[in-house]
Amino acid sequence: MNFAQANSLLQGRCYESRMVGKYVYLKRRNHAIALQIHSSDKLLFTPDGRVILATEWFGGLAIRAINGFLPEPWLVCRWRKHTILYLAQDGYENGWSVDGLVVINLDGTLKCKGRPRRGSLRPMSEVQEEVRELNRLRQRLRQKIRYWRHKAKSKSPCRLTVTSILQEKNAQLRSLQIQSFGIERFFLEGGSETLDSCGEYVLLRARLDERREMVCLKMVCPSTGAAYVSPVQPGIRTVDQALDWMYQVRNYRQNLAAER
Amino acid sequence: MYYRHGDVLFERIEVAPSDGRRSQTEDEKTGVVQRGESTGHAHIIDDMAGIYLFSVFSQRFLSAGKDFTITHEEHKSLTIPEGNYRIHIAREYDYLLNLEREIRD
């Protein structure tokens, strides 16, 4: 479809707006005509023959509607979270990954709308290479996670240090490495910060990333004098909370009569 | 009032559950409050005369008509006064599985 065809549909009592499909409307926008799906404009036909494509859509309904109204031979599809604009005869593998507002000119050339550009236009070959690289990284990470999960479960020896663990950027890997290294050893060897302390009890925390953390309560056995740490639920902030959670009671320290 | 012996905590309660849901395992009959999985060590009540250790579903209780002493290979003995107690086993958080579980030594 082009502006002239859209204009011919918007005549008479439907001059301002016309329903052209389920949830799909043609609407006048100043001098241009928009294709509206649900309540947002996806295509804009301008009187000079250009078509502006808005790419913030994901569903099958939008794809079908846009493909029905795009000027031939242009088509759109989704591929690995990318919006692809392509020529029907070339196939989507030779198309462009588009983002933001993209203008399809009358001569078939593409450009991003606005100055500075309000979107991006990249050939598919570039996007495919990027996806392949991302997949390789994911695969490597999955292998590492599998390796460290096995190590953590089997408790087999490993050449880790507190520093090397803290340098690991991936939170899941760091968590597994701490467990392979030994939670107790990691916390006692200073890989953590103190959240709260009360008598012989110290609540320690190791940050895995901005959201994830590992919290442990360091205790001293009154009988043997040995220090040990016990992992507690993340989110616990005080020694009292940790003790109450650990023994599933209330006010543990206030009500403790004797301990050995 | 709480009495702690290693990973085992005795919480004093007014009345122990007395309905027909009580059950007793072999360990409970012989006074084993908690048995360690890896070390084989156990928290054991010395003299079970006048002491009734039982479970109601997953919760464990103890009714003691006299003071009793609990022993363990690694901890000093602890004498606890007569009364009714609910037994709590310390728990820890498993960051590998993202769940909480009872501590097993």
Beta bridge mates, A36 = A25, A41
pLDDT at position B88, please?
A: 92
**3-class secondary structure, A238:** coil
Taking only the tens place, the pLDDT of each residue in A220-236 is: 878 777 777 788 888 89
| Number of residues written out for chain A | 260
Residue B85 has pLDDT above 90, yes or no: yes
Q: pLDDT over 70 for what percent of chain A?
A: 95
User: Do both A180 and A210 map to the same domain?
Assistant: no
Distance between CA atoms of B105 and B93, rounded to whole angstroms? Answer: 14
Domain holding A99, by residue range, is: 3-117
Residues 6+ apart with CB under 8 A from A192: A186, A204, A205, A206, A214, A216
Q: pLDDT over 90 for what percent of chain A?
A: 15
Taking only the tens place, the pLDDT of each residue in A174-193 is: 778 887 887 778 777 766 78
Q: What are the φ and ψ backbone dihedral angles of B87, each rounded to 5 degrees?
A: -105, 130
Interface of B with A (CB under 8 A): 1-6, 9, 11, 74-78, 80, 88, 90-96, 100, 103
CA dist list (Å): A205 to A68, A215, A254, B63: 57, 4, 24, 39
User: Do both A28 and A130 map to the same domain?
Assistant: no
CA distance A39 to chain B (A): 42
Question: Helices A171-181 and A124-154, interaxial angle, to 10°?
Answer: 20
pLDDT at position A114, please?
A: 62
Residues 6+ apart with CB under 8 A from B60: B28, B33, B53, B54, B86, B87
- Characterize the bridge pairing of strands B8-13 and B2-5: antiparallel
- The CA R_g of chain B, rounded to the nearest whole Å, is 14
Distance between CA atoms of B84 and A260, rounded to whole angstroms? Answer: 20
Q: Give me the mean pLDDT over the A115-121 stretch.
A: 66
User: Do both A184 and A203 map to the same domain?
Assistant: no
pLDDT at position A40, please?
A: 86
Interchain contact, B3 vs A258, CB within 8 Å: yes
Count of CB atoms situated within 10 Å of the CB of A185: 13
Q: Give me the mean pLDDT over the A180-207 stretch.
A: 82
pLDDT at position B9, please?
A: 92
User: Do both A164 and A196 map to the same domain?
Assistant: no
pLDDT at position A193, please?
A: 84
pLDDT at position A136, please?
A: 92
CA distance B62 to chain A (A): 17
Choose one of A97, A117, A137: the last residue of a domain: A117
Choose one of A117, A137, A163: the last residue of a domain: A117
pLDDT at position A192, please?
A: 79
What totals of helices (H) and strands (E) does chain A contain, helices first? 8, 15
Cis bond leading into A73, ω under 30°?
yes
Closest CB to A214: pick one of B3, B9, B95: B95
Taking only the tens place, the pLDDT of each residue in A56-98 is: 766 788 888 889 889 888 999 888 888 889 998 988 888 888 8
Pick the more confident residue, A155 or A80: A80
Domain ranges of chain B: 2-102
Q: Smallest Cα–Cα separation from A194: which of A144, A151, A237, A255? A: A237
A151, A186, A205, A248: best to mutate for the B interface, most B CBs within 10 A: A248
User: Do both A22 and A107 map to the same domain?
Assistant: yes
- Tell the residue number behind the tokens 């196939």, with chain if given: A91
Q: Measured in Å, how far apart are chain B's first and last C-alpha atoms?
A: 25
Element containing residue A181 per DSSP (H, E): helix A171-181
Choose one of A84, A117, A150: the last residue of a domain: A117
User: Do both A186 and A197 map to the same domain?
Assistant: no
Pick the more confident residue, A173 or A139: A139
Beta bridge mates, B88 = B9
Closest CB to A223: pick one of B74, B90, B100: B74
Taking only the tens place, the pLDDT of each residue in B18-54 is: 776 777 788 888 888 888 766 678 889 888 888 888 8
User: Do both A13 and A76 map to the same domain?
Assistant: yes
Burial class, A54, CB count within 10 angstroms (exposed 0-12 / middle 13-18 / buried 19+): buried
Structure tokens at A25: 């409307």
Asked if ipTM goes beyond 0.95, one says no
CB pairs under 8 A between A and B: 74
- A200 has a chain B CB within 8 A of its CB: no
- Characterize the bridge pairing of strands A74-79 and A51-54: unpaired
Please state the domain count of chain A.
Answer: 3
Contacts made by residues B31-40, CB under 8 angstroms, sequence distance 24+: B33/B8, B33/B60, B33/B62, B33/B70, B33/B87, B34/B7, B34/B8, B34/B89, B36/B104, B36/B105, B37/B104, B37/B105, B38/B104, B38/B105, B39/B73, B39/B105
Structure tokens at A47: 């009187």
Q: Measured in Å, how far apart are chain A's first and last C-alpha atoms?
A: 84
